[in-house]
């Protein structure tokens, strides 16, 4: 079983992105291993590893997070009971190859994870047991403001083979380049799924968690064309937006002031 954890917003803002990511992950997966996907989103349920309640000062302290899931990646090993492997992904991605090719890569004995490089941690392959001794205590990680930022600076990593975190197409001449395994849309304002998400949110009287989000075309025309094609495929395959809308809204997330607000 390939365990995948995806950081996403809690009020359905990323539903289109979730649909395309799941569709492309399953489209390219040809191995025998089952893919399991957990959508990591802020929760009001105290039993959830992603619980946060600012009214009680309980669960995750989200103050200062850049996104509604910024620190969750470091909670993945805990969610796996520090056993086996796990993959972390941001939601604003599309898969271009079989994720099993990342899953099967060797993690050197002296590190607990593989990443793109020492700076980027938007795609991680964890050895969860080794991560237990490398990461801060889970409760400290949840409650200490800003601690998650220091983790990336202190934890040792090795690089995965292949570009499993291709940032907006980078300088590749073609998106069909075999080295591109996952395309990551890094700027909120140019994330291609917003062309569908923002009108949907407005129609229901809701706003995106990032108040600066607006529909701006991606800089690469081939990215825009690829995503349009994949969206049609995603819908035809039955990955509807409704599948990804939460049954209960978490409540407001205020990026400007930093962190979740009381419901």
Nearest to 254 by CA among 112, 75, 42, 89: 42
Task: Evaluate if residue 256 carries a pLDDT over 60.
Answer: no
The predicted-structure confidence for 195-228, as pLDDT tens digits, reads as follows 999 999 999 988 888 877 777 889 999 999 999 9
Query: Residue 194 domain-assigned?
Result: no
Report the CATH number that the domain containing residue 50 is assigned in CATH. Answer: 3.90.550
Bridging pattern class, strands 2-7 and 158-159: unpaired
Pick the more confident residue, 221 or 255.
221
Confidence of residue 262 (pLDDT cuts 50, 70, 90): very low
Confidence of residue 249 (pLDDT cuts 50, 70, 90): confident
Domain count, the chain: 1
Return the pLDDT at 56: 84
Nearest to 97 by CA among 154, 166, 19, 10: 166
Confidence of residue 263 (pLDDT cuts 50, 70, 90): very low
Return the pLDDT at 258: 55
DSSP lists the bridge partners of residue 180 as 163
Return the pLDDT at 261: 54
Query: Residue 179 domain-assigned?
Result: no
Arithmetic mean of pLDDT over the chain:
92
Query: Residue 258 domain-assigned?
Result: no
Count CB-CB contacts under 10 A for residue 220. 16
| Stretch 166-170: mean pLDDT | 97
The predicted-structure confidence for 104-124, as pLDDT tens digits, reads as follows 999 999 999 999 999 999 999
Return the pLDDT at 210: 81
The predicted-structure confidence for 17-67, as pLDDT tens digits, reads as follows 999 999 999 999 998 899 999 999 999 999 999 999 888 888 999 988 889
Nearest to 127 by CA among 164, 75, 79, 77: 77
Return the pLDDT at 54: 81
Query: Residue 204 domain-assigned?
Result: no
Confidence of residue 248 (pLDDT cuts 50, 70, 90): confident
> In the chain, what's the furthest Cα-to-Cα distance?
51
65-69, 137-141, 239-243: which has the minimum mean pLDDT? 65-69
Query: Residue 61 domain-assigned?
Result: yes
Confidence of residue 98 (pLDDT cuts 50, 70, 90): very high
| Stretch 71-92: mean pLDDT | 97
Return the pLDDT at 100: 97
**Domain, as residue range, for 157:** 2-161+230-244
Query: Residue 216 domain-assigned?
Result: no
Task: Evaluate if residue 255 carries a pLDDT over 60.
Answer: no
57-65's contacts with Cβ under 8 Å and 24+ in sequence apart are 59/142, 60/142, 60/143, 61/142, 61/143, 61/144, 61/145, 61/259, 62/253, 62/258, 62/259, 62/260, 63/145, 63/258, 63/259, 64/145, 64/146, 64/258, 64/259, 65/258, 65/259
Query: Residue 211 domain-assigned?
Result: no
Query: Residue 143 domain-assigned?
Result: yes
pTM: 0.94
Nearest to 114 by CA among 156, 80, 143: 156
Return the pLDDT at 152: 83
Task: Evaluate if residue 6 carries a pLDDT over 90.
Answer: yes
Pick the more confident residue, 241 or 252.
241
Q: Do residues 137 and 189 make contact, with C-beta atoms less than 8 angstroms apart?
A: no
Distance from the Cα of residue 163 to its chain's centroid:
16
């Amino acid at each position: 079983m390939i365990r995948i954890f995806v950081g996403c917003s809690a009020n359905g803002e990323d539903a289109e992105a979730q649909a395309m990511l799941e569709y492309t992950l399953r489209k390219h997966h040809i191995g025998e291993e089952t893919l399991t996907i957990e959508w990591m989103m802020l929760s009001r349920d105290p039993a959830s590893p992603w619980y946060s309640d600012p009214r009680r000062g309980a669960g995750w302290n989200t103050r200062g997070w850049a996104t509604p899931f910024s620190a969750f990646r470091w909670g993945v090993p805990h969610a796996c009971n520090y056993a086996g492997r796990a993959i972390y992904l941001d939601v604003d991605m599309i898969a271009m190859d079989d994720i099993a090719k990342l899953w099967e890569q060797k993690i050197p004995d002296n590190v607990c994870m593989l990443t793109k490089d020492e700076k980027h941690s938007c795609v991680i392959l964890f050895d969860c047991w080794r991560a237990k001794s490398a990461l801060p205590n889970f409760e400290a990680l949840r409650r200490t403001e800003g601690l998650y930022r220091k983790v990336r600076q202190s934890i040792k990593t090795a690089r995965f083979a292949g570009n499993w975190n291709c940032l907006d197409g980078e300088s590749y001449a073609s998106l069909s380049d075999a080295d591109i395994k996952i395309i990551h849309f890094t700027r909120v304002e140019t994330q291609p799924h917003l062309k569908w998400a923002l009108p949907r949110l407005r129609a229901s009287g809701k706003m995106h968690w990032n108040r600066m989000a607006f529909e701006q075309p991606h800089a690469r025309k081939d990215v825009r064309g690829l995503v349009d094609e994949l969206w049609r495929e995603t819908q035809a395959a039955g990955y509807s937006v409704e599948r990804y809308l939460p049954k209960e809204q978490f409540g407001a997330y205020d990026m400007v002031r930093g962190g979740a607000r009381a419901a």
